[in-house]
Chain A
Amino acid sequence: MTGLVVLVTGVTRFLGSALAGRLAEHPAVDRVIGVDAALPEPAARSRMGAADFARVDIRNPLVARVIEAAGVDTVVHASASSTPASSAARSMAKEMNVLGTMQLLAACQRSESVRNLIVRSTGAVYGASSRDPAVFTEEMSARSVPPSGTGRDAIDIEAYVRGFGRRRPDVRIAVPRLAEVIGPTVVTPLTRYFALSPAVPMVLGRDARLQLVHEMDAVGVLEHLALGEFSGTVNVAGDGAIMLAQAIHRAGRVPLPVPSVALDGLSRAVRTLRLGGFSPSQVKLLSAGRMLDTTRLRTEVGFHPRFSTIEAFDDFASMLRPAVAPATVRRLEVRIAGTLGAVAMPDGSAANRANLRAGSVDVIDALPDPYPHPVEAGDRPAGDEQPTGRPRLVGITGDAAGTPRRRRSR
């Protein structure tokens, strides 16, 4: 049996490029073709490694020619349901997401060679409201269908994919529904939300549960699905929850409670000032929260995320320069206790984190990576280098605002 020929969409973004690079190194894969409408930036190009790049807009029927010419048998639509990298791209995002997926599915349908189709979806298909169950399984559907935004698009995309499945029952289709992707490299409205300013706005009187998936786990699960046997829909998320206010504090920021009416306006204002911004459904997520049940991911797909939600967030937060470092808080505690004549309680598990957060790059360098990324036996070849080595990111940590993200989003 010859190796697979994989087409990966959206390689200008982190997920697509990292996935392309990773697949290109896999022995079972002959060739990886990354496609996107724009040229990938050097960072994305280096992540792609040995993968080829074809500049094709997936909304253009030309993509069918690429599939045919290369004899592609596995299509990974990694750019579907991706959150727009910049606020200006939001209007484009719907077109790319929905129309791009339709064209890509049409191309796959005509192709004789395509055998596997992986379409990335998002947990936003479940919506988010206070009337929803606390944890969503794959069988549940949104009680409050989001009127617009990524969630709405993802519901449409999944409907098209189901239609495709009926027309091409011979193609294995896997639809991973990813929780919010977070990590040191990836750029999403959520990462920008936390990076925006020392005071992070949140809805007054609300505190939502967030569930996150680390960027390397997101890449890992797409790779796993592309090469595996699973067909169907599966939730992908890290273990456990983090509260929004807790996350803001862990990032060393200060929560700024804003009445929900004003938050919409604030989001608009921030967007007009071109400082970033978040979509209305993002705002809603930040006031209701949702959790995904990942039993199927573990049992049927056999994928175990290496980062829990909190670990994923901390990995992202180590990129930010904290406005209020835990060490400062601890010093304040000890001082207040001392002034009042008591002895502060010993600082338990947070000590390590405090040092890490307050420390310089050297401190971070000195710490061993608690979550070395590869390699499971039989899963990946030995010596499989992860495309975005964590050591490279560590260097960035010392930067002023830790914002290669902001530059990239322009």
Chain B
Amino acid sequence: MTNVPPTPPTSLPPTPPLPRTPPLPATPSPPATPSPPATPPLPPTQPAQRDELPPAAPVETGWKRSLAGSLAFVRRRMTGDYEVDDFGYDPDFTDHVVEPPLRLLYEKWFRIEALGLENIADTGGALLVANHSGTIAIDALMAAVAVREHHPQHRALRMLGADLIFQTPFLGPIIRKTGSTLACNPDAERLLSSGELVSVFPEGFKGVGKPYSQRYKLQRFGRGGFVTAALKTGVPIIPVSIVGAEEIYPLIGNIKPLARALGFPYFPVTPTFPLLGPLGAIPLPSKWIIEFGEPIPTDIYPEHAAEDPMVVFNLTDQVRETIQQTLYRLLLRRGHPFLG
């Protein structure tokens, strides 16, 4: 089990912004297709003149299209020509910088199967409640990619994250740009009532940082704050079961003094980290299945149900049980954790 993971460098998340080409998502266009330029390069004379008369939809293909897209993206960043919403969600940045490497990870590295996407409506708010695991919360990102890429409407999934994430320099702003916001009821209710898809991971750090021996055993679901948010806004709860994230960084130890000193909830020891240093950051290529379950309606309860602890706890348990049972079923279906 402690074998060195196969590390084909090509499948690692690369950081250069690969341009996204919305009209042709299925085009198998690796950025470096060695196709010789069919059209001779245009003479770079008088570029300003050409600027004034934008060519009428020049249908570029392959790497040229990617290049033009990347350049246009850089130009938009340099001139501030983009929009963010009240929560800081920046679709332009997310689609061009964050998603491409995640998509590679999703398709090539974890070979993720997304089931039950039809349970997510085309419009309107819904609260996606998922199990949380994997030492580093990649599962949250993968669930977002599943909805963004494979749902017919390509909806954005707004994640709720711990305050620790947003305090962290560099990480915090990027996570905010991807549409996440602080896991608190005001933010959740604001997003849900404006018709957004919101994902929440009620296990929190207890789930992400649990030892490998406890894999696929759901932790406590907090105080059910997510249920009150759904009840108050009347949106359905969609239980999401993620199988595969437990194996990416099997947590076999936790250096508590170091975690305390650094202010982390835990300091992970995995078969490859910190033993192999930075190489330990490479996730093991487990086989994933994400299942979006049947929506659980919340608008059937009386008006002040959100203040009724009985209703809240019952709903919390129902969601938790659904996810737990689905996890067991999906585990059987998957078979071998890595060969799937």
Contacts and interface: CB of A to CB of B under 8 A. Distances in A.
B31 to A, nearest CB: 13
B271 interface: no
Interface string A110-137: 0000000000000000000011111101
Given A132-B182, A340-B67, A350 B187 contact: no
Contacts of B184: 133
Interface in B60-117: 60, 64-65, 67-69, 71-72, 74-88, 90
Contact of B186 (A135, A240, A341, A354): A135
Contacts of B58: 343
A134 B190 contact: yes
A135 B84 contact: no
B224 interface: no
B64 A341 contact: yes
Interface stretch (A148-156, A199-207, A387-395): A199-207
Nearest to B73: A345
Contacts of A349: 81
Contacts of B74: 333
B169 A249 contact: no
Chain A to chain B: the 3 pairs with minimum beta-carbon distance, closest first: A205-B169, A341-B41, A346-B54
Interface stretch (B44-52, B201-209, B272-280, B318-326): B44-52
Interface residues of B, number: 54
Interface of B: 37, 39-44, 47-48, 50-51, 54-55, 57-58, 60, 64-65, 67-69, 71-72, 74-88, 90, 163, 166-167, 169-170, 172-173, 176-177, 181-182, 184, 186-187, 190
Contact of B187 (A134, A203, A242, A335): A134
A342 interface: yes
Contacts of B77: 249
B55 A240 contact: no
Contacts of A130: 163, 166-167, 172, 182
Interface stretch (A93-101, A222-230, A322-330): A322-330
B190 A205 contact: no
11 contacts: A134-B190, A203-B169, A243-B88, A291-B86, A333-B72, A333-B75, A338-B44, A342-B60, A342-B65, A344-B71, A347-B54
B75 A330 contact: yes
Given A335-B47, A338-B47, A240 B60 contact: no
A158 to B, nearest CB: 21
Most chain B beta-carbon contacts within 10 A, residue among A205, A331, A337: A337
A209 to B, nearest CB: 5
Nearest to B87: A134
Given A135-B86, A334-B50, A339-B44, A329 B163 contact: no
A386 interface: no
Contacts of B167: 130-131
Contact of B51 (A206, A241, A245, A347): A347
B44 A335 contact: yes
* Interface residue range, chain A: 35 or more
A320 interface: no
B80 A342 contact: no
A135 B185 CA distance: 11
Interface in A346-386: 346-347, 349-350, 353-354
Contacts of A347: 51, 54, 72, 75
Given A131-B166, A209-B84, 6 more contacts: A130-B172, A133-B182, A205-B173, A240-B86, A250-B80, A341-B64
A248 B78 CA distance: 9
A250 B86 contact: no
Contacts of B82: 246
A366 B43 CA distance: 34
B17 to A, nearest CB: 14
A343 B84 contact: no
A310 interface: yes
A350 B92 CA distance: 15
Nearest to B171: A205
Nearest to B62: A342
Interface string A285-296: 000010100000
B72 A345 contact: yes
A245 B44 CA distance: 31
Most chain B beta-carbon contacts within 10 A, residue among A338, A341, A345: A345
